[in-house]
Every structure is written in C-alpha cells, then in structure tokens.
Structure 1
Amino acid sequence: MLHKRITRLLFGAAHRHALVEGGLEATNASPLITLTQGSKQYGGRAVLTEISMTVLPGTGTALIGRNGSGKSTLLSILAGLLKLSSGVLTCDRRRLITGYAPEAFPGLKLTAEDYLRCMSRIAGLSEAASASRISELLQLFSLESSHNRKLAGFSKGMLQKVNLIQSLLTRPQLLLLDEPMSGLDLPAQARLIDVLQELKAEGTALVLSVHEPQIIEALADTVYVLHEGQNIRTIQGAENLKSAPVVNIVYTVLPGQAQQALETLPGVIHVEPSPDYAGTSCTGLTVDQKMSDTCLQQILTAGGSIVSVRHLGGLNDLTEWMDPKDQIGSGRG
C-alpha cells in the first residue's frame, strides 16, 4: 500500500512505534535509551567508534561536528534504522514513542495533507485525532494555506516544515532531529525552538544534530562533539554551556616554577599542551576574562612569548566544530 511504500522510502521498514493518544506516556527518571560503546562500520570503514550516551526524559542532547563526523549515522542508530556493528543499544521499542526527522526529505508527488495522513495512519492515530493534530501543526508552521499543494512543488523550507510536522504527529517521548533548522527562515526557526522547549518541559527527550548556537543555548543540557566518528568532547550541564566569557592564551613553554606560579593564579580554568609553533613547544591556558591581562603580563615577565589570544564564552569555543552552512537554503518556507 502507498503509506507502507512511503515508510520504506523515508525511514525503513523497521521504523514502527506505539502510540499513546492524548499526550506522553508517564515516564520516570530511568533512561529512555542507552548506548554503550556503540560502533558502526561500512565495508570495513569505521563511521562511529565506541560512542556511549544516555538519554533521559525531559533533556536536550546536541550532536555537533563537521560534515562526515557521524552525526546522522548516530541518529539513525538511535532511531532503530541502523544496526550497530558492535556495542549495545538499550531501549524498549515497543513502548517508546519516537519521532524522527531525517536531514534529507524528498519532494513526493503527494499533497502535504495526504502525506501527513499516511504518516498518521502508520503511527496508529485515529482519523479524528489525525485530522486535529495535522490541522494544529500546519497552522503552527504557517502551512495551512498549502495543505493541498503537492510536495514536489514545495521550497526547501516548506519541505522541512512538513518533515518536522510528521515527526511531531504522535507527541513523542523521544524526538530525533537531523539538522532541524535547515532551510527555515528566522520566524520559523524561532517557532521551532518554542515548540521544542514546550515538548522538553512536558518530558520529551530531544536529540538533535545541529550547528546553530542559538538552538544549543535554548535546548541543550549535554553536547557531544563528534570528529571522524569519535566523541572527542562532552559538555554536561546547561550552566557550562552558558559560561561567563573566558580567554584562551597560547604561549611558549615557561620554566617549571614560572608555569606553576601562573597556574595558581585565581581565575585559571584549564591548562594543556598546545601544538608547537615554529618548532617551539607551546602551552594553552584558559582563564576568566577579568584575569587575562594579569596572566599575559606574568607570561611576558617570565620570558614567554604570546602565540595567540582568543576570547571565548558560552559556545564560542565550539564554533570550530559547527559546519558553516546556509541556514536559509534555496527557498524560504
């Protein structure tokens, strides 16, 4: 049947989830999903290597990383669309209500409303519940006037709105979104953030592949930085994602006593070796902005040379892992 063919096209035959109409099923503090040392290989090539994560109800998890870092693969594994090559994924698929919006969404030869009705039937919504929910979401994303237009004629932004709507039909407990801001204009981005904040407050767990600081600041409790299939950094706690401004100073290595004295200054947050500069060993120091001048002066007094000074704060030190993309896309919607 048509709706089964659409499901195979977009999500794979394994993508089936139970429905609890009228809102989220009651949850407790136990994890919705746990991934332990999960790895994925394609033809002997490692795409993900020993990724571990736990997703709790009412939390926001952001996945960031450059193109090819493994974000989309990880989301597909969490959605149950891909199997691990090794590791353990623990969840109860029979009871877990999951919404999933992939990054790529095709312009099908169906109207927006016909497509969404098909997806509602697959999810198990009754006709009455389906009609009400579709109408509500079309209006929310300003698509009510286009409900009878074929998706093949939609702009990138309009297609992304339909993609997001289908993921929200069942009021999911776990919502997996791959680049949800892609193609959306600024009002639609703000509206989406509002919707996701409401869902999170109601207990929905969010896992999002993103590269926009505003959505991370608004929704994330944990950030995983992926690089070449590995988790190279984890930041936990919203307070650590909205930290006060800091300064990163890279300088040539100091004598032992001078370095020790520098590290004991108030406001020093982190010290680590830094890549050599012009064949000279270097050290990187992160310090509260208000103490940066004192540190710079002490480094110079001790005979060190300053290689670089970078002002950081909040998510600024993560921007190098966020792909610079055109968020508006070729067509606004």
Structure 2
Amino acid sequence: MFLQSTDRIHMPEDADAPPLITLTRGAKRYRGRPVLHDISMIVRPGTATALIGRNGSGKSTLLSILAGLLRLSSGELTYGRQGLTTGYAPEAFPGLKLTAEDYLHDMGRIAGLSRAAAVSRVSELLAIFKLGASRSHPLAGFSKGMLQKVNLIQSLLIRPQLLLLDEPMSGLDLPAQHMLTELLQELKSEGTALVFSVHEPQTVEALADAVYVLQEGRIIRTIHGAENLRTVPSVHIVYTDLPPVEQQAVMALPGVLHMLPVPDSAGAACTGLTVEQKMSDTCLQQILAAGGSIISVERLGGLSGITEWMDPKEENGSGRG
C-alpha cells in the first residue's frame, strides 16, 4: 500500500456523484490559429480518463487547460468543488541546478505543506520511486527517467483529488512503469480522478474508464466504460531490438496491433509489441529465430481499435500532444 489510512480520499458511494470538472464546448486558439475545437468532457471522482491521439492532436493543451494554466478562448470550464486539490505533471521537465530534495521541499512549501510535512512527504515519495540514494544530487545530472520520477513526485506532494499527467510513462523503465501503474490504481481506488495522455496501450488497459481520441484538436471518438475498451485478447511482448529488416518482418506478421520502442531496466534499447493472443506464439518464435531476447510477456484483454492513435514519442521528447 502506498497511501496511509489517515490520508485517504474516500470515493463517494453514489456513482453519479457531482463531477470534479465539466468542460463544455471548449476551444483554444494561439494567435488566431485553432488548437482545440468544441471539446466537451466530464471528469468524476475515482475515475481514470485517457487522452489518446497522435503528436500535435491537442492533448497537452487540453491538460494545461484542465490544470488552469491556460485559458479557454471560448467555452466553459467549471469545477465541482471549491479548493480542489490538483496535481499536474507536464510532459517536459528541465534538469535544474537544485538537488532533488531541495526542489521537492520547495515545491511542497509552495503547495502549502509545512516544512516538517514537506520533508516527510518528500522522503516517502523518494523511497517509493527508488530515488532515495540520489536525493542530494543535482537534477542537472539526472537521466530522463530520473527526471520523470521527480516530475511525478512533485505532482503527488499534496494528495490530489484531481491528478493530471502528460505522458507519465515517458522515460521510465519497465519496473518503474509497473510501480507507477500500481500507485495510480491505488489513488484511483481512493477517489482521485486521473486524466492522462498516453501512448502505451497497456496503461489504458490497466487504468482507463473512459477514452477520448483526439485528432487535430477535435474529439473524434469517445469510449465510456472499461468493459467497452476490451475486444480481442492480446499479449504485450518486450524484447531486445532486432536489426531493421528483422524488425520490419515482425511488424508485418498478422495479428500485430502496435509496436513501440521501450528501454529496459538497464537502459538497453528494446521493443514493446502488442499482438493478438492467437498470434503470440508465432511472434515469439520469429523474434527468437532472429536473435532477439524476450524480456517480458504480459497478457492483455485487448483494446477497442484505439492503438492506431498511439504513435510513439519523438526520440528527444520534443513532440507536443
């Protein structure tokens, strides 16, 4: 368990509890250029909402609006509670000269924690994210994955009623991804509302109650209810990268749903492949025959045709959603 019982947020018994956020026909323009068009959505306590879309579809802009960092050009955004506690982890997080603990202590104080509470909460989260040994090191020397962990920690310093995450799995190795998924599942069960952009089908599978698919700033598809997300059972295979020709041959196999680059725990280049369950043995045999090593195999329930909208992030992380 990650949360202490004294700090739990209780999920309302009424499934139709008033929403935390209601966005009605929201639109955003930058210098006259439309970025979001006619976006409407409702976010309720204890639910997880996934924002899916190719780079540039408007996901990051929408999250910034929900976080209160950007104003709508038109439309209406209303909050269901006064003093709503919100955590927000943006996509980009810079390497600063401050140490990890100094930065997080400062963020805790800005969020309203007392010095003692900030020190206690930072220590707790650094241990959960396995950064305790690096707490006194400057952020400027951190890897992308370590910076992402600090980014996530700052969003959790106050236990949020609403948690907004922009590509939370970016840069994390597989053990850290699994740990974060478990933590988010627990927060959700305690009543925190999650809204996140994501490119990993397995994250949607594990967390989402609703999915909004964005294209060029418009919602083109919505899926409500976890049971409606699942279709054909599938398998997620992580393996060491193959030469380009062999990699293309695997991608061309029937039943392959999605392929993404993922680092393993040692930072080596690996591939995450989602394939229909009935074709998983064929894929495994071809990967092994081509000289690849299998890192992990995970059975999934299958996703309702949305993996085509989860394109990989750019190598340098500069692509905006």
Aligned residues: 245
Amino acid at match of 1:178: D
Partner of residue 108 from structure 2, selected from 100, 103, 120:
120
Structure 1, unaligned runs of 5 or more: 1-20, 247-312
How far the C-alpha of 1:131 sits from its partner, in A, is 1.4
Q: Does 1:152 align with 2:140?
A: yes
Partner of residue 107 from structure 1, selected from 95, 106, 111:
95
How far the C-alpha of 1:320 sits from its partner, in A, is 1.4
CA distance 1:138–1:47, shift in 2 (3 Å): same
Which residue does the alignment assign to 1:206? Answer: 194
Q: Does 1:24 align with 2:9?
A: yes
CA distance 1:316–1:94, shift in 2 (3 Å): closer
CA distance 1:237–1:25, shift in 2 (3 Å): closer
Report if aligned partners of 1:240, 1:314 keep a CA contact under 8 Å in 2: no
How far the C-alpha of 1:223 sits from its partner, in A, is 0.2
- In the alignment, the residues of structure 2 paired with residue 216 and residue 325 of structure 1 have an alpha-carbon distance, to the nearest angstrom, of 16
Which residue does the alignment assign to 1:43? Answer: 31
Which residue does the alignment assign to 2:46? Answer: 58
- In the alignment, the residues of structure 2 paired with residue 23 and residue 121 of structure 1 have an alpha-carbon distance, to the nearest angstrom, of 21
How far the C-alpha of 1:160 sits from its partner, in A, is 0.1
Amino acid at match of 2:79: C
Report Cα offsets for 1:167-219 as digits up to 9, x if no partner: 01111000000000000000000000000000000000000000101110111
Partner of residue 183 from structure 2, selected from 170, 173, 195:
195
Could you tell which deviates more after superposition, 72-81 or 26-35?
26-35
How far the C-alpha of 1:327 sits from its partner, in A, is 8.8
CA distance 1:328–1:193, shift in 2 (3 Å): farther
Could you tell which deviates more after superposition, 319-328 or 101-110?
319-328
Larger Rg: 1
How far the C-alpha of 1:24 sits from its partner, in A, is 3.2
How far the C-alpha of 1:69 sits from its partner, in A, is 0.1
Which residue does the alignment assign to 1:82? Answer: 70
Could you tell which deviates more after superposition, 130-139 or 49-58?
130-139
Q: What does 1:224-263 align with in structure 2 at a 5 Å threshold?
A: 224-244=212-232
- In the alignment, the residues of structure 2 paired with residue 188 and residue 169 of structure 1 have an alpha-carbon distance, to the nearest angstrom, of 18
Which residue does the alignment assign to 2:120? Answer: 132
Report if aligned partners of 2:8, 2:190 keep a CA contact under 8 Å in 1: no
Which residue does the alignment assign to 2:248? Answer: none
Q: Does 1:183 align with 2:171?
A: yes
Q: Does 1:71 align with 2:59?
A: yes
What is the TM-score with the length of structure 2 in the denominator?
A: 0.72
- In the alignment, the residues of structure 1 paired with residue 209 and residue 169 of structure 2 have an alpha-carbon distance, to the nearest angstrom, of 19
CA distance 1:327–1:157, shift in 2 (3 Å): farther
- In the alignment, the residues of structure 1 paired with residue 193 and residue 155 of structure 2 have an alpha-carbon distance, to the nearest angstrom, of 13
CA distance 1:327–1:213, shift in 2 (3 Å): farther
Q: Secondary structure at the match of 1:125?
A: coil
Which residue does the alignment assign to 2:259? Answer: none
- In the alignment, the residues of structure 2 paired with residue 56 and residue 30 of structure 1 have an alpha-carbon distance, to the nearest angstrom, of 7
Report if aligned partners of 1:181, 1:327 keep a CA contact under 8 Å in 2: no
Report if aligned partners of 1:61, 1:222 keep a CA contact under 8 Å in 2: yes
Which residue does the alignment assign to 2:294? Answer: none
How far the C-alpha of 1:232 sits from its partner, in A, is 0.2
Q: Tell me the C-alpha RMSD between the 2 structures.
A: 2.3
Q: Secondary structure at the match of 2:96?
A: coil
